[in-house]
Structure 1
Amino acid sequence: MRTLALQNCSGDVELCAPEAILSYINSLLLVLAGKSLLNVVIVGLRLQHMVKSFMGYFCISLALLDILLCVCLSLIYYFEDFTFLGFRFTKYHICLVIQIVSYTYGILHWPVLALAGIDYFLMLPLYTQPLSFARKMTCVTLTIALWISALFYVFVFSDFHPMMQDMSHVFMYQCLIFTSHQCSSVTTIIMFLLLCTILYCRSGFIRLMKSLGSLSLYEGPAWSLSYTSQWEEGAMRKQLLSNITLCFLATWMPFLFLQAVVLFLRADIPAYLDLNVPWLCFLNSFLIGTVYWLRNQEVGMKSSAFPDGFCYWNFSYPLENETHRVCNSKSIITTVIITP
């Protein structure tokens, strides 16, 4: 976790220009409102997929918490100076609250990725079945427990002590911006894995790209690709990995490009913005693709039921979804349907 001061100050923190702090608060509220609106739109459009997995429930909780945060900070900004439940709140408490939120959001990337990965690895073959009430309650309980654990860590075990009198004074009047390394580290690892995958499956990947080049984007929402793969199991898994990678890149390439630009420029993104629903949906697609390849024998051909509202993981086979040999040949014909 890293902190950046909003403005350069010397001596007592009271000497920091209040106009600069208030200007930052105005911008912060606008940015937070935009982020909340984007989260709500994505969750609303993909709600049928969100309610099927732990990652989806965490996305819903993040959208709700961002709305609550935006409303609370707006009320504090509107009333300027008031007392609630014996506590006095001023505009400057917005800086303190947003830093607590930033520190909490900044430590959640890896825990969410780990829990969602375990969830998919254990349960992905079962997503073709309706989600039971017990399964839904488990996702809700894990989501609530994760948020409580993160807050408990921030206030008890971390070096961040926002409730101490001297520290809260600094946080209120300097408006430090917390940036997290977790988002950039996750992005770097994902890009490295994608690059290794493309190099490893370059022959199958190039074959699929050539097939894509011969298709018209106006033929329909789905692209149907036919190719011939070697019969050996290793070659089949390699070709499946090529299909999954192409499907993922066809959907998320603009987002990957944006992440690459942020990494290249070493831009310092506030931690309260790093954790957002589009980012979690990106991680969701990556995890589903990874587990789909690792457990393709158990998952089978029923991948259209996956809890992913962006990538359409459907690699279908001709002759009623059954693999067959071509006469006098050690190869099979496979049809891949990709909907970005």
Structure 2
Amino acid sequence: MNTSTLSILLGLGGKCLLNWVLVFLQRRHICRSFVGVFSVSLSVLDTAMTLIFVSIHIHAEGPLFLLDWQLTRYHTCLLVQILGQVHSVLQWPVVLVASLDHFCTVSLPPASFRVKWIVYSFVTVLLWNLTALYVFLLSDFNPVLEDVSHYQINQCWVFHSTQILQVVTLLSLTQACAVLHAVCHSRLSENPSLKNQITNQSRTLSRRSFVCQVLSMFLSTWAPLLIFLAVLLLLPVRIPSYLGLNVAWLCFLNSFLIALVLSVVCPTPQFAQGLAAVPADSFCEWRVKFNLAAEDRT
């Protein structure tokens, strides 16, 4: 779809502003998770790209050189398409790495902040470099540029991203399966011993309560955004690829993955005893109330 360069600049400017506002709001523990470190890197790169676009737009009638390379409006369109392609490719790797990070946080003993920050920074840099190499060397990405003088270019061809809706659909189905398993677990288990039956029923009730509370806390914060994404899924509305990956989306994804990991792993006894850690989240307060009687029986 053709989009005016002014609209692209306004969209990128609004995206950068939103990115830095959310990074500032999460400043206390922004570097305590992979999603936080990746959000900072995304904000820095998006800001650098936006400044380049603004410089090209301002000097559209005259030459603009960067390292002896003359930049024109052709490069604006080219960089927008490359940026969108990189953001689209990054969606699933970010989901996988963030899921692994949350799983390790919940299941393993906590590591020191310095070690975690070094690992997160290394993985973030590695992801950006591998994605760029994939886009330029292995993917079938072909830029779409108009065959006119760069002085006459007022619009750029913009690709659209479907990865966001794919991610939400898959994670929603996985979350639904986790909830269904927690609810139906007692009906699927058969226990010959009365004592074992009472114990397993207590564990099932505890697990069911835990998963339902996790789901309730997530929905109480992010239900409006889920409704908005459902509308996008039903309507023929497309998201420009250069806007698809942003800090707001990463914040939602972070909460979604925490809820998913907690529902799947369900470390109820560890949480009750204060032995399990919850991944950093600035939007959802993961405070679960436990049935102490059930916990004592387990």
Cross-structure match for 1:175: 156
**1:324 aligned residue (289, 293, 296):** 293
Cross-structure match for 2:8: 28
SS at match of 1:107: helix
**1:185 aligned residue (166, 174, 189):** 166
TM-score by length of 1: 0.72
Question: Judging changes above 3 Å, is the alpha-carbon distance between structure 1 residues 251 and 42 closer, same or farther for their aligned structure 2 residues?
Answer: same
Amino acid at match of 1:260: A
The answer for unaligned runs of 5 or more in structure 1 is: 7-20, 204-229, 333-340
Q: Distance in 1 between matches of 2:177 and 2:201?
A: 24
**1:105 aligned residue (75, 78, 87):** 87
Question: Judging changes above 3 Å, is the alpha-carbon distance between structure 1 residues 316 and 198 closer, same or farther for their aligned structure 2 residues?
Answer: closer
Q: Distance in 1 between matches of 2:84 and 2:77?
A: 10
Cross-structure match for 1:226: none
**1:300 aligned residue (259, 271, 275):** 271
Q: Distance in 1 between matches of 2:213 and 2:158?
A: 41
Q: Distance in 2 between matches of 1:35 and 1:108?
A: 17
**1:233 aligned residue (191, 203, 214):** 203
SS at match of 1:47: coil
Cross-structure match for 2:243: 273
Conserved 8 A contact 1:304-1:313: no
Q: Distance in 2 between matches of 1:194 and 1:177?
A: 33
Q: Distance in 2 between matches of 1:236 and 1:193?
A: 20
SS at match of 1:300: helix
Deviation per CA, 1:34-62: give whole Å up to 9, x if none. 11111111110012232101111111111
Q: Which has the higher helix share?
A: 2
Pair 1:253 & 2:223 matched? yes
SS at match of 2:115: helix
**2:53 aligned residue (55, 73, 83):** 73
Amino acid at match of 1:73: F
Q: Give the superposition deviation at 1:247.
A: 0.6
The answer for unaligned runs of 5 or more in structure 2 is: 185-199
Question: Judging changes above 3 Å, is the alpha-carbon distance between structure 1 residues 36 and 252 closer, same or farther for their aligned structure 2 residues?
Answer: same
Conserved 8 A contact 2:81-2:159: yes
Q: How many residues align?
A: 274
Q: Give the superposition deviation at 1:190.
A: 2.8
Pair 1:314 & 2:287 matched? yes
Conserved 8 A contact 2:214-2:286: yes
Amino acid at match of 1:245: L
RMSD: 2.9
Q: Give the superposition deviation at 1:237.
A: 0.8
TM-score by length of 2: 0.82
Deviation per CA, 1:96-119: give whole Å up to 9, x if none. 110000000011111000011111
Report 1 or 2 for greater relative contact order, CA contacts < 8 Å, sequence distance ≥ 6: 2
Question: Judging changes above 3 Å, is the alpha-carbon distance between structure 1 residues 195 and 138 closer, same or farther for their aligned structure 2 residues?
Answer: closer
